[in-house]
Every structure is written in C-alpha cells, then in structure tokens.
C-alpha cells in the first residue's frame, strides 16, 4: 500500500480513538515507517479512515506494529484500557482464584454465558499482513493441535470453504460462528481471499469452539446456556492450557497476548452474558451508568455493531489489558449481579 502524504481529515462526528490520537506530530513521525512485513501507516489506519463510525479505528499487522507505530498505538491503548506504556501486563487464568457463584441460579435473566480469548502464532504475521500461503500454514498448525484435544474438548474442524450455506447461516444465527463480510475487517485487509483458510472447530456439545483465521488466528470460545460463569471459565482455562502446549502464541511482557486490534491486547478475553433486562433497558441512562461503573460494555445480541433484540443484551468486560483473566471475569460477575439486583427493584 502507498504511504500517505498528508494528515487525513476525519468527518464531523467521527469519534474514533484514531481521530483523537493521529495528530500532526504523530503523523509526521510515522508516515514513512513500516515493519519488516511491509506493514505501513496507511494499513494501520485504513479501517478507521473508511469506517468513520469506528470506536478505535486501527489494526496491527504484526507484533512489531505495536513498537514501530507506538506513537499512535500507545495513546490509543492507554485511552481504551487505562494502561500506560511503562506498565507490564499480568496473567492469572486459574479458576480456583475466581469467586463467581451463578448470579441467576433460577434462570430468570441470564440466557447464556460465553468467554473467548484471542491468540495468534508467534512465528507469523497477524491476519492483516499475512500471505495466502502463510494463512494456510496457520490453519494447518491449528487443526493439528485441535485434533489432539481429548475427552469433552475433542471435536471436529469445519472449513468455511465448501460449507453448506444453510449450515453456515444457522451457525451464525445460533451465535456459534463469526459473520462474513465485516466492513471493519474488510478495510483492515483481514478478509483477503475469504473464505480460504477460515473455519470453525467445535466439540459435540458446542461448548468449546475455536474460530480460525478471522480477526485473529484463533478465537477460543467456551460457552453454555445459563449463568454458570465459573464452569465456562474453567473449561476455557483447561482448553487454552492444552493448546498452549502445542502452539506458540505471540505475546510480550508489556502487552500480554498480541492481537490484531489493540482493544483485545493483554488477556485478549471478552467474557459476556446474554441477559434479559426488560425494565432496566427501558431506562437506558441508568443501565449505561451501572455498566460504566463496572467498566462493562453493552452490545446487541448478534455481536459488536449489532442492535439489541427483545430487551436482551450482550454485557461484557471492556478492559482486557492490565487486568488478569480472573479479574476480567470477576468484574463481569459483579456487574451482572448489580444489573440483576437493579432489575428486581422495578
């Protein structure tokens, strides 16, 4: 891609972290830089330039993007996660340290719980800068590792290419599979040669799933109906530890696990519940106030950038870097309890 020659302007109303942090000085410092994989500033910011409704607007093409373009990534990372460039990320994925009894044992509010982490292989570029050949290698390495899983985690890999369309649509509608054609990923170069090299692995019960070569090379997902957050966390912790024995994931002491989007750095964990809040959701300012207090994000039930349906929302931890895996989930648990308690008072 060609380097930019002047500071891009952002449409009125554009509120992305990119538009806030791409100042004249930062632009001048970065405009001629690129990583060893040839990833340049145009590629870092293209998604945010095209999609002016982006909340973040940047993607990394490789681990080196975070250092080469640190003048832009560091302030974005600090704004999103409240994590300073002098800090070190800490991890704790031990379920014994999680205190999370089911906040809704009678199943009145929580429909389902899902926790995912993103990972990328350390030897290869991230999806925005990867070649078609390298993407196939990534898929092969991951499938070999997945095929070694045993017991309840054992399952089958289904490549996207050749999948029956009705089956794909059903997997998406049932919240198991990623959507096709995401415009944010498209502009970031993450959809090149779609659907080649992409696919989904899942066990028979569809409680453990792995997305291959979507925004990140792996999205490992544990999910089940109801609000047993600890069971979901424990399953994911076991699965990730097993896969980590077979695959070398990209990480750094400072940023934790390396991901395509800076919002996913660190734990790369998004822990969510689908929750019905018919009364509280009629009072959005109060709903949003409680979510903000617990640093939770509110999404629609068909994922990011989707609308809610029938007063059911996707509630998840917003911060992923500078907090441990246990803390991400502890925050979700506390926030969900607070939301349920408020809903009961109406």
What does the H/E/C string look like for the chain? CCCCCCCCCCCCCCCCHHHHHCCHHHHHHHCCCECCCCCEHHHHHHHHHHCCCCCCCCCCCCCCHHHHCHHHHHHHHHHHHCCCCCCCCCCCCCHHHCCCCCCCCCCCCEEEEEEEEEECECCCCCCCCCCHHHHHHHHHHHHHHHCCCCHHHCEEEEECCCCCHHHHHHHHHCCCCCCCCCHHHHHCCCCCCCCCCCEEEEECCCCEEEEECCCCCEEEEEEEECCCHHHHHHHHHHHHHHHHHHCCECEECCCEECCCCHHHCECCEEEEEEEECCCHHHCHHHHHHHHHHCCEEEEECCECCCCCECCEEEEEECCCCCCCHHHHHHHHHHHHHHHHHHHHHC
Q: Are 257 and 324 in contact (CB under 8 A)?
A: no
Q: Does 43 bind ligand ILO (CB under 6 A)?
A: no
Q: Cβ closer to ligand ILO: 57 or 125?
A: 57
Residue 281 partner contact from ligand ILO, ligand ADP, none using kind-dependent CB cut-offs of 5 to 8 Å: none
Q: Site mask, ligand ADP, residues 198-227, x = CB under 6 A?
A: ---------------------x---x----
Footprint of ligand ADP on 243-262 (CB under 6 A): none
User: Which segment (50-58, 65-73, 94-102, 134-142) binds ligand ILO by CB under 6 A?
Assistant: 50-58
Q: Cβ closer to ligand ADP: 117 or 146?
A: 117
Q: Does 83 bind ligand ILO (CB under 6 A)?
A: no
Q: Does 90 bind ligand ILO (CB under 6 A)?
A: no
Q: Site mask, ligand ILO, residues 217-246, x = CB under 6 A?
A: ------------------------------
Q: Cβ closer to ligand ILO: 261 or 269?
A: 261
Footprint of ligand ADP on 70-99 (CB under 6 A): none
User: Which segment (78-86, 100-108, 247-255, 297-305) binds ligand ADP by CB under 6 A?
Assistant: 297-305
Among 63, 198, 235, 270, binds ligand ADP (CB under 6 A): 270
Footprint of ligand ADP on 313-332 (CB under 6 A): 314
Q: Does 191 bind ligand ILO (CB under 6 A)?
A: no
Q: Which residues bind ligand ILO (CB under 6 A)?
A: 47, 54-57, 184, 215, 261, 263-264, 304
> Which residues are near ligand ADP by CB under 6 A?
112-114, 116, 175, 219, 223, 270, 272-274, 299, 301-304, 314
């Amino acid at each position: 891609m060609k380097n930019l020659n002047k500071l891009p302007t952002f449409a009125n109303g554009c509120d992305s972290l990119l538009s806030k942090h791409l100042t004249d000085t930062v632009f001048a410092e970065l405009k001629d830089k690129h990583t060893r994989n040839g990833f340049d500033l145009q590629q870092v910011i293209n998604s945010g330039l095209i999609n002016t409704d982006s909340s973040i607007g940047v993607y990394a093409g490789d681990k080196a993007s975070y250092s080469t373009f640190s003048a832009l990534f560091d302030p974005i990372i600090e704004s999103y996660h409240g994590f300073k460039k002098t800090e070190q990320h800490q991890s704790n994925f031990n379920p014994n340290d999680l205190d999370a009894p089911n906040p809704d044992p009678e199943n009145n509010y929580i429909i389902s719980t899902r926790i995912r982490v993103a990972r990328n292989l350390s030897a290869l570029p991230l999806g925005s800068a990867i070649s078609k050949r390298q993407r196939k290698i990534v898929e092969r390495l991951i499938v070999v590792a997945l095929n070694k899983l045993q017991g309840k985690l054992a399952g089958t890999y289904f490549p996207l290419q050749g999948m029956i369309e009705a089956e794909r649509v059903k997997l998406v509608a049932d919240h198991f599979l990623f959507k096709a054609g995401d415009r944010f990923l498209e502009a970031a170069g993450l959809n090149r040669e779609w659907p080649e090299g992409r696919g989904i692995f899942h066990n028979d019960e569809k409680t453990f799933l792995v997305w291959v070569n979507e925004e990140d090379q792996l999205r490992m997902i544990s999910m089940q109906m109801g609000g047993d957050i600890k069971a979901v966390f424990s399953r994911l912790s076991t699965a990730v530890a097993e896969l980590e024995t077979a695959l070398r994931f990209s990480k750094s002491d400072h940023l934790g696990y390396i991901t395509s989007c800076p919002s996913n750095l660190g734990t790369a964990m998004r822990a969510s519940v689908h929750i019905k809040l018919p009364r509280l959701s009629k009072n959005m300012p109060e709903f949003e106030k409680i979510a903000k207090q617990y640093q939770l994000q509110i999404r629609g039930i068909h994922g990011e950038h989707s609308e809610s349906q029938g007063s059911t929302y996707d509630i998840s931890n917003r911060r992923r870097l500078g907090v441990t895996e246990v803390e991400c989930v502890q925050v979700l648990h506390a926030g969900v309890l607070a939301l349920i308690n408020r809903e009961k008072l109406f």
